[in-house]
Structure 1
C-alpha cells in the first residue's frame, strides 16, 4: 500500500507502526472468518485502507484494536455476502492458509489433522456463530469485546458461542 506524500511524517510512522503491530492478528482473524488466504489478504488490505482513512479519528491504541476487530469482521461478512451468489467460501484450506502465514513446519504438522477437522466443522456454523466463536475462543476477546465487535448484546453473544460450541462438538464427533 502506498501512503500519500501529503501525510505528515509522524502520521506515516504511526500508520506503519500500527500496521506492523496488528497485521498478523488481522490476517489470522480474516483467514479464520473467510477460510482462505487469498480472501483474507484482500480483507486485510481493505481493513488497513480503512484504518488509513480513519486514523485521525481514532483516539487511542485500545480503540484501534477494537476498531480493527470490528472492521475485519464487517469486511469479511461483506465479502461473504458478495461471493455468496457467485461461489461458496471454502474453509477446507484453513490449515494450509495458516501454514502459509505461520510457516513453522513442526508445529503445524502436529496440529494439521486437528485443524482440518475444526475447519471442516466451522464450515457448518452460521457466520455470526462462527465469528463469535473465533473472536472469543481463538482470538481471546472477552464476551463484552465480542459483543461490541459484532454489534450485539453480551447475552446474545453468550448464546451464539454456546450454540457454536455444541454444534462444533457434535460435528467433531462425527468427523472422528
Structure 2
C-alpha cells in the first residue's frame, strides 16, 4: 500500500534529485500543479502566467517512511521562508507548496508548518493547498540531474541540494 504527496520546493530538478534518494520513496515524477491551463508546457509555466507551481509527485511506502519524515526532508532541503523564490530561481512557479491528498496529510502538514515557524521565528510561506490536477512535465525533465550532472545548473545548484540532503539525512538514504 502506497501513498502520494505533491510538493513544490523550487526547481523540480532539485526536489526530484533529493527524493529519488530517500528510502521508502517508490517513484518521483516532476510536473506542474495548481494552475488554470490544461496540459501546461515548461515554457508556458516559465512565462509566469499559468498559475502552476513546479512540483514533484511522490509515491511512498508509509511502512518505510512516515509522512512527517517526508516533510522533514522537504523543509530541510529548501527555503520555506522566501515567497516564490529559491536562491536565484524567482517566480510564482518556484513557490514552496504542499498539495495534500487527504485530510490526514493536511493536518500533519499544518502542524509541521506551525512547529517549523515557531522554531525558525520567521514566517513560513509554504502554501498548504488541496489536491489539484497534476500535469507530468515533459519527458526530458525525467531524472534530469542523473542524466545531466555536469550541466552548470545541476553541477552548482542541484548537486548542492543533494549533498545537503546526504549530509543531513544519511540514515534515510536508499541502500541501492
TM-score normalized with structure 1 length: 0.29
The structure that has the greater radius of gyration is 1
Name which structure has the greater RCO, CA cutoff 8 Å, separation 6+. Answer: 2
TM-score normalized with structure 2 length: 0.29
* Structure with the largest fraction of strand: 2
* Structure with the largest fraction of helix: 1
